[in-house]
């Protein structure tokens, strides 16, 4: 068990900068999720921690020891790959035992550790099988088992569930959560799936184009997104974003459609400033006064309903309501944000305005 510190880490591929200076200190036993769209550099960062990718700038320390120039084998980490990366010519037992044999661990202890992991992961019946004789879910478990038996300082996961079907993915997600609670090993987990991130993480690092947009607990990231990017990436359906302007007294946001939304607290210094206004669909409610929309589409999800409305100026506005639909397409509806549901972002930089 150990801390993992990433200090101003950069990575360039020729002239292209894939990671542009990331800083984070991961606590002992913490589960950190790296979340971001495809190509944002999540795998690159994880692979730098693993030692599979050179570090262009900055420092990575595991358990207080700088590992920049250590081989993967000397970093005391274990990794679960997206395609599992099992050894195809070895049995399940040998797959799990491989790293232990190399480390010169006595046979009896290898047997004990593998049996224990196989028990936890319900792989006991498959120890003599080859990976090709297993289902996708079972292979995934073997990959997890291979990491567990090593008892490493940190686990690294690179989208470990993305090759599974939806049902299995949910099931394995719960299992990973249980394992983490049980083993308490520091973990870095890469995913582009916000549900995985929200449910597994102690903290989430939201990445975009090689920079950390925000680091925070799942609720912080949801409740106080640090940028428009985070606001749009977390939450489903995504947050509504409207152009607006703070009025001359700094007391409300004025919208092109003429609406005036009072600010929770006055911002005299920002008077007259153009802003982006964010409102989550689930924080809108039917009201007497507010946004008048014409309903274009109603999605009934069972437990709740997503309404796609069109504002008079042509913008789309999403509203999420509890329960089954009470409105129909082409209906007109007036909705307003709930108290404290406004997020203000700088119109130029996209950063959150506190």
Partner 1 sequence: MQRRVTFDSRLLPYLLLAPQVAVTLVFFIWPAANAIWQSVHLQDAFGIRSEFVWFENFTHVLGDPNYLDTLKTTVIFSVAVTVLAMGVALLLAVLADSKIKGASAYKTLLIWPYALAPAVAAVLWMFIFNPDIGSFGRALRALGFDWDYRLNGGQALLMVILAASWKQVSYNFIFFLAGLQAIPRSVMEAASIDGAGPVRRFWTITFPLLSPTTFFLLVVDMVYAFFETFGTIHALTQGGPGKATETLIFRVYQDGVVNNDLGGSSAQSVILMVIVIALTAVQFRFVERKVHYS
Ligand X SMILES: Nc1ncnc2c1ncn2[C@@H]1O[C@H](COP(=O)(O)OP(=O)(O)O)[C@@H](O)[C@H]1O
| Contact footprint for partner 1 (CB under 8 A) | 50-52, 71-73, 77-79, 81-83, 85-89, 98-99, 102-103, 130, 132, 146, 150
CA trace torsion 11, 17, 21, 26 (10° rounding) = -50
Choosing among ligand X, partner 1, Mg ion, none, which partner's interface includes residue 52 (Cβ < 5 to 8 Å by kind)? Answer: partner 1
Q: 206 or 261: whose CB is closer to ligand X?
A: 206
Q: Are 228 and 69 in contact (CB under 8 A)?
A: no
Q: Which does 41 bind (CB under 5 to 8 A by kind): ligand X, Mg ion, partner 1, none?
A: ligand X
Sort strands 186-191 and 31-35 into parallel, antiparallel or unpaired: parallel
Q: Write the burial class of residue 231 (CB in 10 Å: 0-12 exposed, 13-18 middle, 19+ buried).
A: buried
Neighbours of 14 (CB within 10 A): 5
Site stretch for ligand X (CB under 6 A), options 37-45, 172-180, 181-189, 280-288: 37-45
Q: Which of 2, 9, 18, 215 binds ligand X (CB under 6 A)?
A: 18
CB of 268 to partner 1, least distance (A): 56
Rounded alpha-carbon distances, angstroms, from residue 260 to 3, 239, 256, 263: 48, 19, 9, 9
Q: How many CB atoms lie within 10 A of CB 175?
A: 16
44 binds ligand X (CB under 6 A): yes
Residue 150 contact, options ligand X, partner 1, Mg ion, none, Cβ 5-8 Å cut-off depending on partner type:
partner 1
x/- track of binding to ligand X for residues 182-221 (CB under 6 A)? ----------------------------------------
Contact pattern from residue 18 through residue 57 relative to Mg ion, giving x for each residue in contact according to CB under 5 A and a dash for the rest: -------------------------x--------------
State the nearest-atom distance from the C-beta of 85 to partner 1, in Å.
4
Name which of 229 and 291 has its Cβ closer to ligand X.
Answer: 229
Instruction: Candidates 31-39, 94-102, 123-131, 292-300: pick the segment binding ligand X (CB under 6 A).
Output: 31-39
Q: Contact between 43 and ligand X (CB under 6 A)?
A: yes
**Backbone phi and psi for residue 139, each to the nearest 5 degrees, phi listed first:** -60, -40
> Is the C-alpha dihedral spanning 183, 189, 191, 195 positive or negative?
positive
Residue 225 binding ligand X, by CB under 6 A: no
> Which CB sits closer to Mg ion, 43 or 95?
43
DSSP assignment string, 272-335: T-EEEEEE-GGGEEEEEEEEEEEEEEEEE-SSEEEEEEE-TTS-EEEEEEESS----TT-EEEE
Do residues 11 and 48 touch, judged by C-beta distance below 8 A?
yes
Q: Does 131 contact ligand X by CB under 6 A?
A: no
Alpha-carbon distance 85 to 87, whole Å? 7
44 binds, options Mg ion, ligand X, partner 1, none, Cβ within 5 to 8 A by partner type: ligand X
Q: Are strands 203-208 and 211-216 parallel, antiparallel or unpaired?
A: antiparallel
User: Shortest approach of ligand X to residue 33 CB, angstroms?
Assistant: 13
**DSSP-assigned states of every residue in 90-104:** S-HHHHHHHHHHHTT
Given the rule CB under 6 A, which of 42-50, 56-64, 70-78, 324-332 is the region that contacts ligand X? 42-50
Nearer to partner 1, 73 or 260 (CB): 73
- Residue 13, contacted partner among partner 1, Mg ion, ligand X, none, CB below 5-8 A by kind: ligand X
Give every strand in the sheet of 343-346, ordered side by side: 260-262, 252-254, 240-246, 274-279, 343-346
Spell out the residues 6+ positions from residue 226 whose beta carbon is closer than 8 angstroms to its own. Answer: 213, 214, 216, 351, 352
Q: Which does 342 bind (CB under 5 to 8 A by kind): Mg ion, partner 1, ligand X, none?
A: none
| DSSP string covering 183-199 | H--EEEEEES-HHHHHH
Binding site for Mg ion (CB under 5 A): 43
Q: Which residues bind ligand X (CB under 6 A)?
A: 13, 18, 36, 38-44
């Amino acid at each position: 068990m150990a801390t993992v510190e990433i200090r101003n880490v950069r990575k360039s591929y020729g002239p292209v900068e894939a990671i542009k200076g990331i800083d984070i200190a991961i606590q002992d036993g913490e589960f950190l999720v790296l979340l971001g769209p495809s190509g944002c550099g999540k795998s690159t960062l994880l692979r730098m921690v693993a030692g599979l990718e050179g570090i262009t700038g900055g420092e990575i320390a595991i358990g207080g020891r700088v590992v920049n120039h250590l081989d993967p084998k000397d970093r005391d980490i274990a990794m679960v790959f997206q395609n599992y990366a099992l050894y195809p010519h070895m049995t399940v037992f040998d797959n799990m035992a491989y790293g232990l044999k190399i480390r010169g661990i006595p046979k009896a202890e290898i047997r004990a550790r593998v049996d224990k992991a196989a028990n936890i992961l319900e792989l006991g019946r498959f120890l003599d099988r080859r990976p090709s004789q297993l289902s996708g879910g079972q292979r995934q478990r073997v990959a997890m088992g291979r990491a567990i038996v090593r008892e490493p300082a940190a686990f690294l996961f690179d989208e470990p569930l993305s090759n599974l079907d939806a049902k299995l993915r949910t099931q394995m997600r719960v299992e990973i959560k249980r394992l983490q609670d049980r083993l308490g090993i520091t973990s870095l987990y890469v995913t582009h799936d916000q549900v995985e991130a929200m449910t597994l993480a102690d903290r989430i690092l939201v990445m975009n184009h090689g920079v950390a947009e925000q680091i925070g607990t799942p609720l912080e990231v949801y409740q106080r997104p640090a940028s428009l990017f985070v606001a749009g990436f977390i939450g489903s359906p995504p947050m509504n974003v409207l152009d607006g302007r703070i009025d001359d007294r700094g007391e409300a946001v004025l919208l092109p459609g003429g609406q005036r939304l009072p600010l929770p607290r006055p911002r005299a210094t920002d008077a007259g400033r153009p802003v982006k206004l964010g409102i989550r669909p689930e924080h809108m409610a039917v009201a007497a006064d507010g946004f008048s929309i014409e309903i274009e589409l109603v999605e009934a999800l069972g437990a709740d309903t997503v309404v796609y409305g069109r504002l008079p100026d042509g913008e789309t506005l999403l509203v999420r309501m509890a329960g089954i639909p009470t409105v129909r397409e082409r209906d007109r509806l007036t909705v307003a944000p709930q108290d404290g549901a406004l997020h203000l972002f700088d119109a130029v930089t996209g950063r959150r305005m506190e």
